[in-house]
């Protein structure tokens, strides 16, 4: 293996967004959603028509590259937030473990192989949720949210958020964005799978207001507790407001190959799952640009 730094461009070229295999049979597809005239889904390399992503699932919240010091910063921020709220330190968090073996996020060959496998498993599009700020200054974060809301009003670009864990800032985030003029159907509130609540109280509030609920650490060993939560939301009529992804926690395609079978076993139908994995992300990502795309 060569030790080259993987770039988003290289990984996305390996994915080949427009020509993926379909993991969910067309014969059981939910009704094709409609899109406003002129809608595009804006990717790193080019704009795509929403119809071009109809052949596979979209993972709305992933990370294809994280800084080498990310885990240390995240652990420190989590510890500070817990201390500020009077909570004890998390067990076994004495510091990030040293990487074992090659680092997929810093080896273009390993990442390309992972992305190719993900494509073969039926993923058409990966949304990278990387961001430069990893701090927990609440006042600063509020200013970042208001700025993002203003940017959305100027551009129409969709917004998805991180809520931290366990996602209790969801309603506050949506409040700030709506106050800035953002329509809720242009927003995914992320990490709400971590807010474990059998009554899915916050999740339902988000759905009723018109935003999407992000279950974005699905496909790992600990996602069984999210199954009844998802089923409760489906049974309540909120399937059109759900989004699934893995957040780079278990392998990009395991949302499809591990988590979806658990939902099917719990009673979720193929058309409903197709709607969640294929149609919902396209409805969220597609927008009519207010400004022309800048040429590279």
- C-alpha count within 13 angstroms, C-beta hemisphere, residue 257: 12
pLDDT in tens, 157-176: 999 998 876 667 899 999 99
Mean pLDDT of 211-232: 94
What pLDDT is stored for residue 140 in this prediction? 58
Q: What are residue 244's phi and psi, to 5 degrees?
A: -120, 150
Rounded Cα distance, 59 and 286, in Å: 14
Cα separation values, 58 from 35, 40, 91, 270, Å? 17, 15, 34, 16
Most confident of 119-123, 214-218, 233-237: 233-237
* Among the ranges given (95-104, 111-120, 208-217, 257-266), the one the predictor scored with the smallest mean pLDDT: 95-104
Q: What is the mean pLDDT of residues 192-215?
A: 95
pLDDT at 190: 92
Q: Tell whether the torsion through CA atoms of 117, 121, 127 and 133 is positive or negative.
A: negative
The per-residue pLDDT for range 29-39, each reduced to its tens digit, is 557 889 999 99
Are the C-beta atoms of residues 238 and 215 closer than 8 Å to each other? no
pTM score over 0.75:
no
pLDDT value of position 121: 93
Q: Going from the N-terminus, what domains does the chain have, and what CATH number goes with each?
A: 8-26+38-285 (3.20.20.140)
Q: Which residues of 85-119 are buried (b: 16+ CB within 10 A; e: fewer)?
A: eeeeeeeeeeeeeeeeeeebbbbbbbbbebbeebb
- C-alpha span between 289 and 278 (Å, rounded): 22
As a whole number, mean pLDDT of residues 177-190 equals 95
Q: How many CA atoms lie within 13 A of 152 on its CB side?
A: 23
Question: What one-character DSSP code corresponds to residue 210?
Answer: T
Question: What pLDDT is stored for residue 97 in this prediction?
Answer: 52
Q: What average pLDDT does range 281-286 have in this prediction?
A: 96
Residue 200 Ramachandran class (φ > 0 left, ψ -120 to 50 alpha, else beta):
left
Q: Which residue has the higher pLDDT, 179 or 138?
A: 179
Question: With bands split at pLDDT 50, 70 and 90, how would you rate the model's confidence at 109?
Answer: confident
d(CA 54, CA 127): 15
Distance CA 247, CA 126 (A): 10
pLDDT for the residue numbered 157: 92
**Per-residue pLDDT tens digits for 250-272:** 788 999 999 999 999 999 999 99
pLDDT at residue 247 above 60?
A: yes
So what's the pLDDT on residue 122? Answer: 94
Highest mean pLDDT among 24-28, 75-79, 131-135, 159-163: 159-163
pLDDT computed for residue 236 by the predictor: 98
Percent of the chain scored above 70 by pLDDT? Answer: 80
How far CA 230 is from CA of 161, 197, 206, 215, 274, in Å, comes to 19, 11, 14, 9, 14
Q: Which is nearest to 181 in space by CA: 207, 140, 146, 138? A: 146
**DSSP structure class, residue 40:** B
- Please give the mean pLDDT across all residues of the chain: 82
Q: Report whether 212 contacts 240 (CB < 8 A).
A: no
- pLDDT tens digits for range 61-105: 888 777 777 778 778 877 887 888 788 888 765 444 545 667 777
């Amino acid at each position: 293996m060569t030790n080259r730094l993987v770039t988003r461009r290289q990984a996305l070229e390996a994915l080949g967004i427009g020509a993926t295999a379909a993991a969910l049979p067309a014969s059981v597809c939910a009704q094709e959603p409609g899109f406003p005239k002129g809608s595009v889904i804006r990717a790193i390399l080019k704009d795509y028509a929403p119809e071009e992503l109809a052949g596979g699932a979209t993972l709305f919240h992933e990370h294809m590259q994280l800084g080498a010091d990310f885990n240390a910063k995240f652990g420190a921020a989590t510890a500070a937030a817990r201390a500020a709220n009077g909570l004890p330190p998390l067990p076994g968090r004495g510091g990030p473990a040293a990487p074992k073996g090659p680092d997929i996020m810093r080896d273009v060959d390993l990442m390309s192989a992972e992305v190719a496998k993900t494509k073969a498993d039926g993923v058409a599009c990966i949304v990278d949720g990387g961001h430069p700020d990893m701090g927990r200054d609440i006042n600063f974060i509020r200013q970042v949210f208001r700025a993002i809301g203003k940017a959305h009003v100027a551009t129409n670009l969709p917004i998805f958020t991180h809520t931290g864990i366990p996602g209790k800032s969801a309603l506050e985030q949506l409040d700030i964005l709506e106050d800035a003029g953002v329509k809720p159907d242009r927003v995914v509130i992320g990490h709400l799978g971590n807010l474990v609540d059998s009554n899915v109280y916050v999740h339902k509030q988000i759905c009723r207001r018109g935003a999407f609920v992000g279950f974005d650490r699905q496909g790992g060993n600990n996602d069984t507790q999210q199954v009844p939560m998802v089923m409760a939301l489906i049974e309540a009529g909120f399937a059109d407001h759900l989004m699934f992804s893995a957040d780079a926690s278990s392998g990009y395609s395991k949302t499809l190959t591990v988590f979806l079978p658990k939902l099917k076993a719990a009673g979720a139908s193929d058309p409903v799952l197709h709607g969640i994995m294929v149609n919902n992300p396209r409805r969220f990502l597609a927008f009519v640009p207010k400004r022309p795309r800048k040429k590279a």
